[in-house]
Amino acid sequence: MADFIVPSTDAGCRLQGPIHSKRHVRVICIGAGASGLLLAYKLQRYFSNFSLTVYEKNPEVSGTWWENRYPGCACDVPSHNYTWSFEPKLDWSAVYASSREIFQYFNDFARKYALHKYVKVQRQVIGAYWNHQKGGYNVTIKDLQSSQEISDHCDVLINASGVLNNWRWPAIPDLDKYKGTLLHTANWDDNVNLAGRHVGLIGNGSSGIQVLPTIQPKVDKVTTFIREPTWVSPVQGLEQHVFSDQERFEFATKPGVLLEYRRNVERSLNGLFGIFLKGTTTNNETEAYMKSQMQEKLHNPYLEEHLIPSWHVGCRRLTPGVGYLEALGKENVEVVYGEITRITERGCVCDNGNEYPVDILICATGFDTSFKPRFPIVAPNGKNLQDVWKEEAQSYLGVAAAEFPNYLIFLGPNCPIGNGPVLSAIECQADYMLKLIDRFQTHNISQFSPKKEAIADFIAHKDQFMQNTVWNDPCRSWYKGRPDGPVTALWPGSTLHYIEAMMEVRMDDWEVKYNGNRFAWLGNGRSQTELDPTADWAFYIREKDDDEPLSRGRKLQIINRSGTMSRNVGTNFIGKSDAEEDQSIGPRI
Ligand SMILES: Cc1cc2nc3c(=O)[nH]c(=O)nc-3n(C[C@H](O)[C@H](O)[C@H](O)COP(=O)(O)OP(=O)(O)OC[C@H]3O[C@@H](n4cnc5c(N)ncnc54)[C@H](O)[C@@H]3O)c2cc1C
Ligand SMILES: NC(=O)c1ccc[n+]([C@@H]2O[C@H](COP(=O)([O-])OP(=O)(O)OC[C@H]3O[C@@H](n4cnc5c(N)ncnc54)[C@H](OP(=O)(O)O)[C@@H]3O)[C@@H](O)[C@H]2O)c1
């Protein structure tokens, strides 16, 4: 069917066409990681009369998985569940695939669906300013090859620049005085050879936990600097395992085998949420189990005292520490517990007064996760999001900010990024954004932004919910700005909870401005159906009522295939199914 296209944003033009005529929409997306690529895929698949440019600062797509190439970097959830829900990969090499293989998955995804054509690489967005004449944003981009600045304009600006993309050096005095080789895990130099060298490793977050056991057998010595205990979990769901040719052949050729495998893993991951709720049986039993595991593997009173936390399991991100605890006890590994007070030409000076010289210093010190944009984003009222989110980033359901119209964010503040695979959250955010873009295109909308009061209510609810979660414990974690601070990175609920919350756009929470008459979209009185000679003009005449259910509950039962499972119960690391109580009640708020 030929689309009736609204030639300009002028409301009057809509009168010439049928109901819901599509205006042209220009979208700019910042970043071509998983989020930006998915947006491009869905926009291309479902929309017409749009133009999209994805500006990407790196020379390649795939974001996290192009940048993080440190030794040991891998998926921390089974790889078959780190794919788009609709795009399985039949031949993952192992249960926990390497960063390189994940990079390949996203690059292949982009190639298969011809998404590279939307992406302009080595172009860094350095500012976005509301355009008072045309609406939308004037976007300034720096061409990283020529250093020239380029200007562009969009109706809708989508920030997919990644919550774990702004890597940072540790704030340790005199870091620049170090004369050895200084590396950051997220900015790895593949030319550095660690073999036979004395390596310093700062940090025991997820990156540090993966680096240590990978480099320990190759280097002469590792001195690892740790300043906070952390829970190190066994693998979540499945043991590491290299898939045999036979297994991969079966995944590729036997109908339903891979789908059932993926669904089983996902069910199990979705059943783990009880771990994050304080005082639940799941949390208590998991903690007791992990403590005994850590004691067994560390087998050293000093390390046990300094590495096993007093705060609850899950307060910091749980990383499956394959071989980490064992590595800490190896002869060529020295554990230095405490604060590094300064860096010298030779290495680190710690609060015990000792200097620890090293040939190579690896900073596994994480990212700036403040959610404050790295460049100015200026709203119609002149406010800059960098200032508005300086103290605390407060989003609307993780996807938008008050007073910043036509601006949407992937994995913004308070998304389910701490429990289970993140890709399912990215998928439901993309769907949510595209529902808004669809409305923008087919109604007479010029601006849409979440209401301030809706965000205030969401934040109040979130803060209350968080009190009963382990994330609220006094650990130092990137999920919050300070140990006692509000939890800014996580969603107040499970991933399944987020998916259900995002299924429909609550327009009651959105401030909408129109181009003139809000009903101009009614057009010339003709329906889209009449415009389509191949459509059935009597589509609603039937023999029986086969409508979609009208209530949310009945609709959901169809979507979630209610009645098809014998009985779902949550699981924990012990493999015990006791989460029924935790799942049904949750924290009382
Ligand atoms: C080391 C590491 C391991 C991880 N492991 C897992 C895991 O096992 N499971 C899991 O679920 N999640 C994991 N994550 C989280 C992971 O970041 C997400 O799963 C997902 O890849 C995020 O995709 P994204 O596109 O939102 O962000 P990113 O992958 O960070 O992509 C953002 C992109 O935006 C670009 N960009 C940023 N600023 C600009 C700018 N100003 N102009 C132009 N381009 C810009 C960046 O270059 C980048 O390509 C991991 C994260 C890290 C850092
Ligand atoms: N697939 C995976 O397994 C995987 C791998 C890597 C990353 N990730 C994702 O990326 C997130 C970030 O992980 P990350 O390990 O890169 O960062 P992180 O979890 O923030 O850990 C940073 C580490 O550096 C230490 N550190 C920071 N500044 C320091 C200083 N001045 N002195 C001494 N130590 C300092 C921190 O110590 P303190 O804790 O004491 O502050 C912490 O141990 C993870 O939570 C996860 O979501 C996933």
- The Cα 58–Cα 80 span in angstroms is 26
pLDDT band at residue 279 using 50, 70 and 90 as cut-offs: confident
Q: What's the CA gap between 322 and 153, in Å, rounded?
A: 47
Identify which ligand lies nearest to the alpha carbon of 67: 1
Contacts of residue 244, Cβ cutoff 8 Å, sequence gap at least 6: none
CA of 342 to the centre of ligand 1 (A): 31
Contact predicate 232/254, CB 8 Å: no
Q: Which atom of ligand 1 lies nearest, measured to the CA of 411?
A: 26
**37: CA distance to ligand 2 center in Å?**
26
Q: How many CB atoms within 10 Å of residue 1?
A: 10
Which helix (H) or strand (E) segment holds residue 261: the answer is: helix 257-270
Chain-wide mean pLDDT for the chain?
92
The pLDDT of residue 582 is 43
| Closest atom of ligand 1 relative to the 420 alpha carbon | 11
- Under the banding of pLDDT at 50, 70 and 90, the label for residue 46 is very high
Q: Give the pLDDT mean for 37-57.
A: 98
Give the distance (Å) from ligand 2 centre to CA of residue 365.
Answer: 5
| Whether the model pTM is above 0.85 | yes
Residue-wise pLDDT tens digits, 455-464: 999 999 999 9
Residue 586: predicted pLDDT: 37
d(CA 559, CA 383): 41
For ligand 1, whether the C-beta of 55 sits within 6 Å is yes
Pocket residue to mutate for ligand 1, from 101, 165, 362, most atoms within 8 A of Cβ: 165
Kindly give the distance from the C-alpha atom of residue 278 to the centroid of ligand 2, in angstroms, as a whole number: 23
Ligand 2 atom 29 nearest Cα: 170
Whether the CB of 95 sits within 6 Å of ligand 1: no
Q: How far is CA 483 from CA 391, 421, 427, 478, in A?
A: 15, 25, 30, 9
Antiparallel, parallel or unpaired: β 445-450 and 510-514: antiparallel
Is the minimum distance from the CB of 317 to ligand 2 under 6 angstroms? yes
| 489: Cα separation from own chain's centroid | 10
Share of the chain above pLDDT 70, in %: 94
